[in-house]
Chain A
C-alpha cells in the first residue's frame, strides 16, 4: 500500500533525516521524499504508518532544534 504525507512547514533537512530513519526502521518498504512529501510504499496499516511517519518527523524536528542545547548541556557537565 502506498501512502503520502505532506509536511510543507518542515525543512528539507528534517525531512531527509526522517526518510533516512524510516528506511532504517522499515528496510523492506520503499520510502521517498518528493517536494516536502514523504511517500511510504510497503506492507503496513495506514493508521500505524501515519502515526509512525509523524512521530519520526516530529522527533527529528525536536532533535535538530534542540541539538545545540543538548551539546551545550553535555559540554557544561
Chain B
C-alpha cells in the first residue's frame, strides 16, 4: 500500500514510551523500537493500518485522510468572525487594596475613572456594529459593583435588543446591597470572586479587616444558599505555596466545583510587591503538580464530591476537543481584535486584560483603538503576526504545538521582548510541563488518573477512559 506521512513530532514521555503527535493533534504512544521504525519508514502492515486509523498517513492528496486531517487543523485554528466576548471596566475604582492586584485600580473616592453616559452609549453602538445576538459580557474593575447602575443598564439594554447575553460580575463581594441583589437575581448573571483560603488567609491577603472579611463570607454564603453554588465561581491566588492544600480543602468544604490553581501573576501592582512572581514558574509547577495529585486522590476517594482544576481541564480539552479555542491563554492563533475585546474605563480597546495591565503601567501601549473610532487595524495586524506558533522555529518542533497557545503579552511583561527562544520563557516552560503531565497521566493506566481525566473532560467522573487504542506495542 502506498502512503505518505502528515507532519508529526515526538517526545519522550517516560522510560517506556514516546508520545507521537500529528500536526492535527492526533496522538499515540510507542516504544523506542517502534519510534525508530516510524522515523525510518520501516513499517509493517499492522503499523501502517494503525497509523491510517490514527490519521497519520494518507494515500493521495484530497483523499478521505487528507480532508479529515485538514478539517481537524481548521477546527483547532478557526476563530469566530464577530466579537462574542466583552470584558468591560465600568470603573477603575476599588474599595480594596490587595498587594498582588493584577488589574489596575484607583482609590474608591478618586474621580474621573468611571464610564459616563457617553461611553455607555458608545459601547452600545460598538456592540451593535461588531456582534451578533450571542455574547458574553464580563464586568471587571476596579470593583465593578461600585457602578451597579451601569451594569444594570447594560443588562437591560441587551434584553431590550433581544441579545442572548450571559453576564459575569467579577467582584470582591465586600459590599452587597439590594441594588446588587436585584441585578444578580437575573438567571443570566453569574458572580466571579476571589477566595484565597479560609478566613485568616482571606483576611490577610484581601480585605485586611476582620469585619470586612466576615462580611465577604456572609455575602458568599447568602448568595450560594439562595441562588445555588453554581451562581458563583471563585479562584484563589497563591504567594505562600504551602497554603495550596488547605485552600483546596476549603473549596471542597464550600461545595465549589472548580478551582484555578495559579500563583501571583507578574502583572499590575504585583510586579513591584511580588517581584519573585517573574521567575518562579519551576518552583510553582512542583507545587502545582503536587496539588493536582492531591485533588485527583481526593476526588477518587470521595466518589461523590469532586473538584475540577481549571487549567488542567482547559488544557485537556485542547488535546481532546478540537475547537476548544475560547481560552486566550492557550490557543493558536491567538489573534487580537477577532472575537473579544477588553474595554477600559476610558473606552480604549485591548486584546486581553494582561495587555491592559502592562499598558497601564507604561511598559508598552497595547491599546488597539477605542469604542468611538473603532479598532486600529494596522496595529492589530502587526501584533497578530506574533500570535501564531506555526511559524515559530521553536514551536514547529514541539510535540505539544497542536494543543498549546501563544502569548506575546506574557513575554513582553516578563522580558520586555517577544523574541526570546520559547524554551527560555515562563509561558513555554509552564505549558510544556502541563502537557507532559497530561500525557503522562493518559498513558499511566492508573485508575486515579483515568477517573479524573474523564471527569475533567466530560464532567462525569467514571473509570471509562475517553480514549482508546492509544498505544502501539
Mark A residues whose CB is within 8 Å of B.
Answer: 9, 21, 24-25, 51, 55-56, 58-63, 65-67, 69-70, 72-74, 76-77
Contact = CB atoms under 8 A, between A and B. Distances in A.
Contacts, number: 54
Given A24-B421, A61-B39, A63-B397, A69 B9 contact: no
B425 to A, nearest CB: 14
A65 B5 contact: yes
Contacts of A77: 70, 73-74, 77
A63 B39 contact: no
B61 interface: yes
B10 interface: yes
Given A55-B12, A65-B5, A73-B23, 11 more contacts: A21-B397, A24-B393, A58-B39, A59-B10, A59-B397, A61-B39, A62-B10, A66-B8, A69-B4, A69-B7, A70-B23
Contacts of A60: 397
Contacts of A74: 390
Given A51-B12, A66-B7, A76 B70 contact: yes
B396 interface: yes
B6 interface: yes
A58 B70 contact: no
Interface string B68-99: 01100110010000000000000000000000
A56 B390 CA distance: 18
A72 B66 CA distance: 10
B61 A72 contact: yes
Contacts of B393: 21, 24
Interface of B: 4-10, 12, 23, 39-40, 61-62, 66, 69-70, 73-74, 77, 390, 393, 396-397, 421, 423
A70 to B, nearest CB: 5
3 nearest interchain CB pairs? A66-B7, A59-B397, A70-B7
Contact of B10 (A9, A58, A67, A70): A58
Main secondary structure of the interface of A (DSSP, over half): helix
Nearest to B8: A62
B60 to A, nearest CB: 12
Contact of B7 (A25, A56, A63, A76): A63
Contacts of B70: 73, 76-77
Contacts of B23: 70, 73
B91 to A, nearest CB: 43
A9 B40 CA distance: 10
Contacts of B66: 73
Contact of A66 (B5, B10, B12): B5
Given A70-B23, A72-B61, A76-B70, A59 B9 contact: yes
B74 to A, nearest CB: 6
A62 B4 contact: no
28 contacts: A21-B393, A25-B423, A51-B12, A55-B10, A59-B9, A59-B10, A59-B397, A62-B5, A62-B7, A62-B8, A62-B9, A62-B10, A62-B39, A63-B7, A66-B6, A66-B7, A66-B8, A69-B4, A69-B5, A69-B6, A70-B7, A70-B23, A72-B61, A73-B6, A73-B73, A77-B70, A77-B73, A77-B74
Nearest to A77: B74
Contacts of A73: 6-7, 23, 66, 69-70, 73
Contacts of B6: 66, 69, 73
